Amino acid sequence: MSPFDPVSLIIKKRDGGELTPDELTQLIDGYTDGQVPDYQMSSFLMAAFLRGMSDLEGFALAEAMLHSGEVLDLSDIPGTKVDKHSTGGVGDKISLILAPLVAAAGVPVPMISGRGLGHTGGTLDKLESIPGFQTDLDLDTYRRLLSEHGVVMIGQTKEVAPADKRLYALRDVTGTVEFIPFIAASIMSKKLAEGIDRLVLDVKAGRGAFMQDVESGRRLAERLTGIGEHFGCTTIALLTRMDDPLGRAIGNWLEVEESLRCLRGEHVEEVTDLTIALAAEMIVLGGAAATLDDAEVTARTLLSSGAAFEKFKEMVQAQGGDVSVIDHPERRGVADAIVDVFADEDQSGYVRSVDARAIGLAAMRLGAGRMTVEDGVDPLAGIELLKKRGEPVQPGDCLARLHTRNRELAEKFSDTVSEAFELTGEHVEPEPIVLDRLYAGKWSTG
């Protein structure tokens, strides 16, 4: 291996060259152990973003990030370990429902998640809006909780894919989030490192996703499943719609509340449907059902019976969370300022769409997300949608409710939220949340 010179690698990529696997390993290892500072890695990220990365570079990047830390072996824990990962969307609280649901079906779910990135929320931030909930657990505790409860949800540790943990935050503040090789390497490095046997991916496409169109979503799904299969992990991807926010709640505690309604058996539009579709895939991969139809019946039964809700409470208690707010969400309290957004005099008809990206950015600026790595998150901040696709609107109707630290901040973004609603004079038909399915290199609809 040649002497390590990060500047030469940055220049090589800046000028359109292709880095070798050894060079990428050197760069990632150097960044992980502190030889490469943030400013040099930021330069590399932007150079790669602008110049692109080949398939070979993408595989090498994923492998270097995977082996930047410990690759866990959970073979001593009974059962086929199955996880799910979403590529990120607005109002995407599915993991909070899905992990305990699948665990209640008897399939072990080890889940290592991330924080909010750009305009999309993060599973860890949502979980930590539950008072006392601990996501910063060591690997021995991770193993023990998975063995005892069949489900555990933590953040990236210093041992597991440490390169991803650092790069995840750096991408967020350098304008290099929406890049397929980075997204794929980030997701798959931590997923493959967590000790899973099988993986289901929720790859989102649309205005609120990092992949703005269906074809980009397909390319990302193909890259992700290709990496999974390369490392011997059976990987299935569902391509799902993300033009409108998922559900009605955007913001950490608001999304936990909506998840609790789903876990209690209430049908939450889009949220329940997508949860069932992903759960069915995981339950079949985990060997708890023979077919997707059988697995869907199992998943619906576990929601309606309360078994999934009880498993969620069990996980919350095991990870130090306050179970009383799970039973009584009203005890969590509300944001300091709550401001309603009303339809103008010229706004009438049916909601054609709600711009997920605009809503996600507004929620972030209200305090639900981060503008910089150092920013804190207000667990009670966010947006409730009072009107969704297909619903009628008359002048003066409440479109949305903003939750934030102060009224002035909420009023600043009222117009932005109002303008995110696109209306039409014609009735709007519902659209399926799942667009396509990728398994063994083949799309279901071609």
Catalytic residues: 85, 164, 171, 186, 190
Rounded to whole angstroms, the maximal C-alpha distance in the chain is: 69
Structure tokens belonging to residue 33:
């152990």
- In this structure, the chain runs to a length of 446
Spell out a b/e string for 61-77, using b for 16 or more CB atoms within 10 Å of the CB, else e: bbbbbbbbbeebebeeb
Q: Kindly state the helix (H) or strand (E) to which residue 438 belongs, with its residue range.
A: strand 434-439
HSE (CB half, 13 Å, CA atoms) of 330? 0
Count other Cβ atoms within 10 Å, centred on residue 205.
26
Nearest to 67 by CA among 29, 22, 112: 29
CA angle 302, 306, 312 (to 5 degrees): 90
Question: Rounded to whole angstroms, how far apart are CA atoms 74 and 279?
Answer: 21
| Strand-pair partners of 82 | 198
Question: Rounded to whole angstroms, how far apart are CA atoms 146 and 152?
Answer: 5
End-to-end CA distance of the chain: 43
